[in-house]
Amino acid sequence: MASPSFAQIIIDQSDMPSAGNNYVRANGNLLTDLDFTQTGEGQIWDYTSLESTGLTTTNCISINETPFLYQFLFNNPLSPNYQASYAVAGEGIDLGLGFTLDEFFQFNKVSATALSAVGYGATLSGISVPSGTNPIDVIYSLPMTMNSTHQNYSEWLIEVPETATYQLKQTRSYVVDGYGTLILPDGEYEVLRLTMNIEALDSIYINQFNFGFEIPRNTVEYHWLSLDEGLPVLQVNSLLGATSSISYKTNDVPDNILQQNKSRISIYPNPAQNSLFIDQAEMGSSYEIIDLQGRKVSAGSIDAELFHIDLSALSSGSYVINLLGQEYQSFRFQKQ
């Protein structure tokens, strides 16, 4: 086993999920006496004893693959704050009394400054209803380092007139309270660890029964984030002081998922000096290069299958290149 490096990493937009990728995580056995509250600087989190009870795949799809109605709100250049980078299909929500929110989608936006849930879409009583979060729900403020903190309030509402209404009011806050080496059954990762508190209130009203009710929820989530992994490599959720879910990265990935995750696009060389090449990008798409302070330092259109970018004007350091087309993809590279 390699010796822990205790290096503090920086989590930025290139480490967030992107359209076209599928992220597989193992569901951990909740019957464990592991201490997930341990944190601090230069930590070693040894969780090799975690046991899997099954796999969960998060499919990040292009907004163009979602129902056409949703694209008016979440893929509209005239509404850039709600122009999502990808969508995730989720489980429905049981409102009770025979009503459910079906065909559920969460729309997320990745930028240099945040990963945000900009809205949702669901079918209620056969009617598809999109809803933006207002204020927008910022999941992570980026870039993220040790001692980073964030708090924001958000709401969203789905309503079918004369049928039912569902509303969520939520305050999300976190602090990055640790960094170090996370050891899982299938590997080791350099990570940042954050503790997130979510105070939520679900409000449900059923017109047919002239009846409504509210459900308060207070949860604590522990996220271990690593470079280029999309989702947390380990996430532990706690409800009422008891562990309610454990999700961690595993190498036990079905072959069909591995094949789907292979991107046809490549960038090279990396590290680069004065030139960077993009191979097999979508013709007519565009690119932007962002430094680690979130500033756009270069941008342009891609007009060749093997496209060349002149880097001679850039200072040495780390950058993120975003490819903006039907599929959003993000890569990190080093300029020498």
Ordered domains of the chain (ranges, CATH): 13-259 (no CATH), 265-335 (2.60.40.1220)
Specify the pLDDT at position 1.
46
What distance in Å separates the CA atoms of residue 334 and residue 319, rounded to the nearest whole number? 6
pLDDT at 135 over 90: yes
The pTM assigned to this predicted structure is: 0.75
Residue with tokens 């989608």: 105
Tens digits of residue pLDDT in 178-223: 999 999 999 999 999 999 999 999 998 888 788 888 989 999 999 9
Q: For 41-93, give the DSSP string.
A: TTEEEE-TT--EEEEEEEEEE-GGGS-HHHHHHHS-TTSGGG--SEEEEE--E
What distance in Å separates the CA atoms of residue 176 and residue 11, rounded to the nearest whole number? 11
pLDDT at 146 over 80: yes
Radius of gyration from C-alpha coordinates of the chain: 21
Residues in the chain: 336
pLDDT at 224 over 90: yes
Tens digits of residue pLDDT in 7-21: 789 999 999 999 988
Which residues fall within 8 angstroms of residue 262, CB to CB, at 6 or more apart?
none
Tens digits of residue pLDDT in 282-308: 788 888 888 876 688 999 998 887 788
Which residues fall within 8 angstroms of residue 39, CB to CB, at 6 or more apart?
177, 178, 193, 195
Q: 233 phi and psi, to 5 degrees?
A: -75, -20
Burial of 34 (0-12, 13-18, 19+ CB in 10 A): middle
Specify the pLDDT at position 256.
52
Hey, which residues does 94 pair with through a beta bridge? Answer: 100
pLDDT at 122 over 50: yes
| Strands laid side by side in the 296-301 sheet | 296-301, 286-291, 317-324, 329-335
What distance in Å separates the CA atoms of residue 282 and residue 323, rounded to the nearest whole number? 9
Cβ–Cβ < 8 Å for 285, 272: no
Q: How confident is the model at residue 95 (pLDDT cuts 50, 70, 90)?
A: low
